[in-house]
Structure 1
Amino acid sequence: MITSMTDTRELTKPRASDPTDGDGDNVAHYVRKDDIVRSNVEGVPVKALCGKEWIPHRVPDGLPVCATCKKIMASLRGGGAN
């Protein structure tokens, strides 16, 4: 008689800790969409327009936008920094 066992343990990829994660930065940053997808899949840090690097762990809904990111985005779009 041949029997087989199936290992049903769930494998998860551990996320690297980031020293800047949870640093009290309560603002949303502008990041390339492709970088966010890659971070979600591979667990790698993203880099915002302002230069901040971190591994996102939450959706920034409802947070104000980083003033530096906002200014850079406005200049990229050809507008002022309102």
Structure 2
Amino acid sequence: MSTTPETGTLIEERTDTDHRLVEEGDHERFSHYAPKDKIMAALIEGTPIRALCGKVWVPSRDPSRFPVCPECKEIYESLEE
């Protein structure tokens, strides 16, 4: 008798409500701040990470080609104080 492991897909649904008005695709135009170790792991493993502004994405593009996300920058600068 052989046993095969069950597989499935886990979908994470955000339950918090974000009332900011952000146009569809606006986050795609920026480089985002996230913990450096998580960025490296995401690049190697192809897994999504969450930026300081809340955007979730899989890093794959050269961040120097895009301006820094103003919201990430503001959050980062407030953490330095």
What TM-score comes out, normalization by structure 2 length?
A: 0.62
Equivalent residues in 2 for 1:26-41, closer than 5 Å: 26-41=29-44
> What's the % identity of the aligned pairs?
45
Number of residue-to-residue matches in the alignment: 56
Is 1:56 the equivalent of 2:59?
Answer: yes
2:69 maps to a residue whose letter is C
- Cα RMSD after superposing both structures: 1.3
2:60 maps to a residue whose letter is H
Is 1:70 the equivalent of 2:73?
Answer: yes
| Alpha-carbon distance between aligned partners in 2 of 1:46 and 1:53, rounded to the nearest angstrom | 5
Counterpart secondary structure, 1:70: helix
Who wins on radius of gyration, i.e. which is larger? 1
Unaligned runs of 5+ in 1: 1-22
Structure with the largest fraction of helix:
2
What TM-score comes out, normalization by structure 1 length?
A: 0.61
Unaligned runs of 5+ in 2: 1-24
